[in-house]
Structures are given as C-alpha cells and as structure tokens.
Amino acid sequence: MRIPLVMLIPLLVLTVLIDLYLWSDVKRATKRRGGKIVFWISTAVCWIFLIVTLSLPRREEGSDLLPVMWMLYVFLSVYLAKLGYIVCSLIGRLLSLITHKHRGYRWARVVGIFVGILFLAVMWEGVFFSRYNIVVNRVEVDSPSIPLPFNGYRIAQISDLHVGTWGNDTTFVAALVDSVNSLKPDLIVFTGDIVNRETKEIEPFLHTLSRLKASDGVLSILGNHDYGDYMDWKQPSAREENNRMLAVRQESIGWDLLNNERRFMKRGNDSIMVIGVENIGDPPFPSYGDLEKALPSSPDSVYNQNDRHFKVLLSHNPAHWDDYVSHKTNIQLTLAGHTHAMQMMLKIGNWEWSPAVFRYPLWGGMYERLNDRGIETKMYVNIGAGEVGMPSRLLSAYPEITLFTLQHVRQ
C-alpha cells in the first residue's frame, strides 16, 4: 500500500485541525478538568496509534500489509466520525451568528454526536456486512456480429479479488466461487488484480479458485497489482520470479492467462474471439499491455481490430477503452475492472454515484460509444469483488459478479 507524501501531509494537517476544533467545543461544553484530561488522553492515544501505524514497514519485501491496512482504517473511521460532528457544529455556529441565539448551536452539537456515530457505523458496516454481500448484475449484449449459435451464450466476469486482504481466510472467496458456479456460465473471465503485492498471497486460495467451472473454462488477465510494483524488492530477479510464479499458479488451477493473446470460443463452425491484454498502466506505473500484439490493427491481417468477428476484450484499466479502443477499433465489448468504485457507492433506484468519478470518469457499469467509423462499441466496468487500501466496501459498493448474455440480432 503506497501512501504518497502529497496525500499524507494534507491528511496529517486535517487531523490536527479536527482535534483543535474539537478542543474548542470541549472547552465550551464542560468546565470539569476530568473531561478535558480525557479528551487530551484520547487524542494522544489516536496520534500515537497513527505514528506507530505509519512506522510499520509497508513496501519492504517480506513485510505484512494487513496490520497497516487495518490500523489506518481504525484511525480514519474515528476521524471521519469526528469530522461528521464538526460539520454539524460549524452549521450550528453559523446559525447562532445569524440568529444571535445559542440554542441552535447546542442542538447542532447534539445532532453532530449522532452524525459522528452514524459515520462510524457506516464505516464498520462496510467491514462486517457490505463486503460479504455478493451481487450479481445481469447484462444483455446484443449485436448482429454475434453468431447465431452463440445466442444465449453466458459470460461471467469477476475482477479485483485482491486475495491478500483476506489473509488465510478463504470463506468469502469460496462463497464467490459458489455464486459464479451457480450461474452455470459458458465462460468465466477474470479481469485482473488477483493479489495486492506478491504471488504468495494466492497460495491459501488455490484450491478454492480451482473450483471455478465453465464449459469453455476460465480466462484471465493481469492488473496493476499483479506485477510486484507495490513492493520494494531486494533484487530485480526476485520480482521477476514472483511474476513468473503468478502465471504458474494460475495455470496450476486451470486458468488460461492471456498476456497480449487471443482465444477463440467455438460452437460448430462459428466462433467468437476473446482478447486479453496485460495492464495498461496509469502514470507513474508502466504499461505492459500491447493490443497490437494480441490483435493487429492492419487490415491485411486475417484477424484484425476492425474485422467482422465478434470480439470481447479483457483489459484491466477502463482508460484503455476510453483512450484507444472505443475510437480506433470495432471491438464490440470490452470488460474492465480496476476502479473498485473506490469501494464506496451511493445507489438510489437506477441512479448511482461514486467518488471514483473524480479519478475515473468511467468507473462502473456499461458505457457505449461510436468509434471513428461510426460503429458502436461498448465497455462494462466491473467494480470488483475484493478490497485494497481499506478492508471494507461502503454503502452500495457490493462485491460484483457480472453475468453477460449474448444475443444475436439481425441487421
């Protein structure tokens, strides 16, 4: 888990300001020395807790990421609750200035206490309930390019498992596997980020993941977390061996890892093409993906990016579709992951919103666009099943399985 200095400094400044504001309210609310001492002792404990957390090794080879993840989450949940209180308190102060009455300010502080408790409850509901609440989203994909024998063909997508966040506990992953298998898909695809930092995280889950079954097997690609880029390796050769073993482990459980390759799913004399590219990284991380290698753009190639074959592209980062695929190819369906919806999503009816939109404009669900030739292309962004950074999923950002049903339509 990387904590950039540009994010850490504002976080530290914000927590100091939060405690200073709370101190001003504590002084006004109580004249008792004991209450003030309790406030400063609890504040000191929080800061010692943060200092210890940030002092733990996070990127060193052999370090354990889970204690840091959990300790930061505890700290942030406490300060988010404090922030909820402060917002209400500030509103009360503003009203008292306008109305010249202090009663509103007192009520605002009472409301603030309940809001803080609510925020704390939401944070921990995401730990104990929401991240276990697997949701199946069913999507129909229609196209005249889909061969008639593939009418009703079912593709199950899972993404961003980040199994290392579960340590050695296979309970959730087993439930996810059972949910996927119950859908009886023809093909299962995994769109990257099976681990957080290193291959050894997958070891406790190999048997469980090997139970994923579909008539046309399991195809997978790599995500940004699957290359060892989130760890400082003592030797470059150690990282290379780590990455090699991830491919070996996936092969051992029967998964077909597509590293800039393509496969054909066949029904009689007809077929659809599934293309898998390595991760197209956001700066400062490198890009490993090469669509040109997986499927040439030249029309002289028998199979190319604009041929009439029905094509499904597996590409971890939705920015790849946004920047290139949707403009230059007629790849009918791209399946991506990566965003997690920042593990926080608000859903009211058919309306959905996530703070991920500030980082990834295409953060979840189906997107459609006409390419440069006026041909429709689509991308679905799966918000993932696992967690990284914080061990929770908030509000409606439930672990997702997407089941696509292909429908042949006449032109």
Hey, is 152 helix, strand or coil? coil
* pLDDT for position 93: 83
One of 3.30.70.3040, 3.30.300.350, 1.10.287.70, 3.60.21.10 is the CATH number of 135-408, namely 3.60.21.10
Instruction: Out of 13-22, 62-71, 97-106, 286-295, pick the least confident.
Output: 97-106
Return the residue matching tokens 């980020």.
193
- Say if CB 195 and CB 244 are below 8 A apart: no
Residue 221: which of 196, 255, 253, 244 has the closest Cα? 255
* pLDDT for position 1: 44
Q: What is the mean pLDDT of residues 260-286?
A: 92
Q: What is the mean pLDDT of residues 317-343?
A: 96
Residue 114: which of 88, 90, 96, 76 has the closest Cα? 88
Residue 186: which of 141, 211, 218 has the closest Cα? 218
Question: What is the spatial distance between Cα 381 and Cα 191, in angstroms, rounded to a whole number?
Answer: 10
- Between 32 and 66, name the one with better pLDDT: 66
Q: What is the mean pLDDT of residues 373-381?
A: 95
- Residues 343-370: pLDDT tens digits? 999 999 889 999 999 999 999 999 999 9
Angle at 341 between CA 335 and CA 345, to 5 degrees: 130
pTM value is 0.90
Q: Where are the domains of the chain?
A: 5-128, 135-408
* pLDDT for position 186: 98
- Residues 59-73: pLDDT tens digits? 787 778 898 899 989
Establish whether the linkage from the previous residue to 284 is cis, with ω within 30° of 0: yes
* Backbone phi and psi for residue 189, each to the nearest 5 degrees, phi listed first: -125, 140
- Asked if the model's pLDDT at residue 8 lies above 80, the reply is no
Dihedral in degrees, nearest 10, Cα atoms 204, 205, 210, 214: 180
- Asked if the model's pLDDT at residue 6 lies above 80, the reply is no
- Asked if the model's pLDDT at residue 3 lies above 60, the reply is no
Reported as a pLDDT band with limits 50, 70 and 90, residue 103 is low
Question: What is the spatial distance between Cα 153 and Cα 173, in angstroms, rounded to a whole number?
Answer: 25
- Between 246 and 96, name the one with better pLDDT: 246
* pLDDT for position 317: 96
* pLDDT for position 7: 59
Helix (H) or strand (E) holding 205, with range, is none
- Say if CB 405 and CB 359 are below 8 A apart: no
Q: What is the mean pLDDT of residues 64-84?
A: 91
* CA distances in angstroms from 280 to 69, 209, 385, listed in the order given: 26, 25, 20
Percentage of the chain modeled with pLDDT above 90: 73
- Say if CB 29 and CB 109 are below 8 A apart: yes
Question: What is the spatial distance between Cα 74 and Cα 55, in angstroms, rounded to a whole number?
Answer: 16
- Say if CB 13 and CB 81 are below 8 A apart: no
Q: What is the mean pLDDT of residues 281-306?
A: 90
The strands making up 187-191's β-sheet, listed across from edge to edge, are: 135-143, 400-408, 154-158, 187-191, 218-221, 255-257
Mean pLDDT of the chain: 91
Question: What is the spatial distance between Cα 69 and Cα 51, in angstroms, rounded to a whole number?
Answer: 14
- Asked if the model's pLDDT at residue 97 lies above 90, the reply is no
Q: What is the mean pLDDT of residues 156-160?
A: 98
208-212, Cβ contacts within 8 angstroms, sequence gap of 24 or more: 208/170, 208/173, 208/174, 208/177, 209/173, 209/177, 209/253, 209/255, 210/252, 210/253, 210/254, 211/174, 211/177, 211/181, 212/177, 212/180, 212/181, 212/188, 212/255
Helix axes 33-55, 65-99, angle to 10 degrees: 140
